[in-house]
Chains A and B, each alone.
Chain A
Amino acid sequence: MALSTNFLVGIIGIFSVSQAALMGVGAYAYAGVAMAGMPFPVALLAAVTLCALLNTVTSLPALRLAGDYFVITSFGLQFIATAVFVNWVQVTGGSTGIAAIPAPRMLGISFEEPQYFVILSSLALALASLAYTLLMRSSYGRVLHAVRLNELAAGAAGRNVLKMKLGVSAVSGIYAGLAGALYAIFMSYIDPSSFEIQQSIVILTMLVIGGARTLAGSLIGPLLLLAIPQVLSLVHIAPELLGPTRALVFGALLVVFMLWRPQGIAGRKI
Chain B
Amino acid sequence: MQLILQLVLDGIVHGCALGLIAMTFSYIYVTTGIFHVAHAGILTLGGYLAWYFTGVGVPFPVAVAIAVAGSAAVGVLIQKGVYEPLMKRRSTPLVQLIASIGIVAVIQNLLAIVFSPNVLQFEMLPWRKSSLHLGSLDISYPQLLTVIVSLVAALGLLLFSSRTALGRRARAVASNRSFAEIARLRPYDVYVYVVAIGAGLVAIPGIFLGVDQALQPYSSLGLLLTAVIAMIAGGVGSLPGAFLVALVLGVLQNLVLAMVPGRWSQALTFAIFITFILMRPTGLFRIRMQRAS
Contacts and interface: CB of A to CB of B under 8 A. Distances in A.
B182 interface: no
A252 B82 CA distance: 11
B21 to A, nearest CB: 14
A240 B112 CA distance: 10
Contacts of B267: 79-80, 82-84
> Chain B contact residues (Cβ within 8 angstroms of A): what range?
35 or more
A255 B99 CA distance: 5
Contact of B277 (A65, A197, A243, A262): A65
A248 B110 contact: yes
B109 A251 contact: yes
Contact of A245 (B103, B113, B222, B228): B113
Interface in B75-127: 82, 85-86, 91-99, 101-106, 108-110, 112-113, 117
A258 B91 contact: yes
Contacts, number: 129
A69 interface: yes
Interface in B251-275: 261, 263-264, 266-267, 270-271, 273-274
Given A68-B291, A75-B225, A76-B270, A244 B112 contact: yes
A75 B220 CA distance: 13
B221 interface: yes
B278 interface: yes
B264 A270 contact: no
Interface string A241-270: 101110110111111101100100000001
Given A72-B225, A80-B271, A270-B95, A254 B110 contact: no
B68 interface: no
A248 B281 contact: no
B27 interface: no
Contacts of A245: 109, 113
Contacts of B16: none
Contacts of B86: 258-259
Nearest to B265: A83
B221 A75 contact: yes
Interface string A221-256: 000000000000000000011011101101111111
A255 B232 contact: no
Given A250-B105, A262-B91, A86 B263 contact: yes
Contacts of A204: 98, 101
B94 A270 contact: yes
B97 A15 contact: yes
A201 B274 contact: no
> Chain A contact residues (Cβ within 8 angstroms of B): what range?
35 or more
A245 B278 CA distance: 39
A255 B103 contact: yes
B243 interface: no
Contacts of B225: 72, 75-76, 79
A75 B221 CA distance: 9
Contact of A87 (B94, B99, B263): B263
A61 B102 contact: no
A143 interface: no
B95 A83 contact: no
Interface in B183-235: 217-218, 221-222, 225, 228-229, 232
Contacts of A68: 35, 93, 291
A270 B225 CA distance: 25
Contacts of B271: 76, 80
A81 to B, nearest CB: 9
A86 B264 CA distance: 10
A137 to B, nearest CB: 25
Interface in A13-67: 15, 17, 61, 64-67
A216 interface: no
A125 interface: no
A73 interface: yes
Contacts of B85: 259
B103 to A, nearest CB: 6
Contacts of A82: 267
A198 interface: yes
A136 interface: no
A166 interface: no
A208 interface: yes
A65 B232 CA distance: 13
A201 B85 CA distance: 23
Contact of A69 (B82, B105, B217, B232): B232
Contacts of A244: 109, 112-113, 117, 217
Interface of B: 35, 82, 85-86, 91-99, 101-106, 108-110, 112-113, 117, 217-218, 221-222, 225, 228-229, 232, 261, 263-264, 266-267, 270-271, 273-274, 277-278, 281, 291
Given A83-B266, A259-B85, 5 more contacts: A71-B97, A75-B225, A76-B271, A251-B103, A255-B99
What 10 pairs between A and B have smallest CB-CB spacing? A251-B105, A254-B102, A83-B267, A76-B270, A258-B99, A248-B109, A255-B102, A244-B112, A251-B106, A244-B109
13 contacts: A15-B94, A15-B97, A71-B35, A72-B273, A76-B271, A77-B274, A83-B263, A87-B264, A248-B109, A250-B105, A252-B102, A254-B102, A258-B96
